[in-house]
């Protein structure tokens, strides 16, 4: 059972990292589920303080993911249309990855620009607002990715520290 929890927990870690970039998946909370599953094994002692603190961080980052892009958009004079455009641009980048890793940067900006232009903003205002929306998106994505990577590191560290107990049935 411990091996199954370890594997499923690791899968949640990977999905959490992907969720840092995909707007439909809550990255850090999914990574936290991986940590929680690891602590459900018989090999790893339950550390409720650790789980509580990491859960709080995951929830705060999850909430900030909605606040940061809005702050970036407002700071640069953008509207909700720019934020929606950023998300649509991200989805386009994921569906049509022909620009490679640059697509994840270019398409959200283009989406924000188109969203602002469709919202009847002039080109200068739309470009400024798109830049703010895009900065907010990048900031939120970076924070989610950072937390998911740290959680993966913690997962690996804890699993490695308890490897003998986790894999004791192989001995």
Q: Quick one: pLDDT band at residue 77, thresholds 50, 70, 90?
A: confident
At residue 135 the predicted structure's pLDDT band, cuts being 50, 70 and 90, is confident
pLDDT given at position 171: 53
Place of tokens 């991986």: 34
Residue-level pLDDT at 32: 97
Per-residue confidence (pLDDT) for residue 41, from 0 to 100: 94
Q: Say what the pLDDT of residue 166 is.
A: 85
Q: How confident is the model at residue 42 (pLDDT cuts 50, 70, 90)?
A: very high
- Answer yes or no: is pLDDT of 53 > 90: yes
How far is Cα 33 from Cα 107, in angstroms, rounded to an integer? 30
Number of domains in the chain: 1
**Domain boundaries, position 43:** 2-170
52 pLDDT above the threshold of 90: yes
d(CA 119, CA 128): 14
pLDDT at site 138:
84
Q: What is the reported pLDDT for 35?
A: 97
**Tokens standing for residue 77:** 């004079």
At residue 103, does pLDDT exceed 80? no
What pLDDT is attached to residue 5?
95
Neighbouring residues of 69: CB distance < 8 A, sequence distance ≥ 6: 83, 86, 133, 136, 137, 139, 140
pLDDT at 150 over 90: yes
- Calculate mean pLDDT across residues 89-105: 74
Quote the distance between the C-alpha of residue 95 and its chain's center.
18
């Amino acid at each position: 059972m411990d091996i199954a929890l370890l594997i499923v927990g690791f899968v949640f870690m990977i999905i959490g990292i992907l969720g840092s970039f995909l707007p439909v998946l809550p990255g850090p909370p999914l990574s936290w589920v991986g940590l929680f599953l690891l602590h459900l094994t018989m090999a790893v002692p339950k550390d409720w303080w650790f789980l509580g603190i990491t859960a709080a961080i995951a929830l705060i980052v999850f909430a900030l993911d909605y606040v940061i892009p809005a702050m970036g958009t407002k700071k640069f004079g953008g509207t909700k249309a720019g934020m929606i455009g950023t998300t649509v641009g991200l989805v386009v980048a994921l569906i049509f990855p022909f620009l490679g890793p640059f697509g994840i940067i270019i398409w959200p900006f283009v989406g924000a620009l188109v969203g602002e232009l469709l919202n009847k903003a002039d080109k200068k205002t739309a470009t400024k607002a798109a830049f703010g929306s895009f900065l907010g998106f990048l900031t939120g994505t970076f924070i989610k990715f950072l937390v998911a990577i740290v959680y993966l590191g913690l997962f690996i560290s804890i699993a490695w520290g308890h490897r003998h107990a986790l894999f004791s049935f192989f001995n």
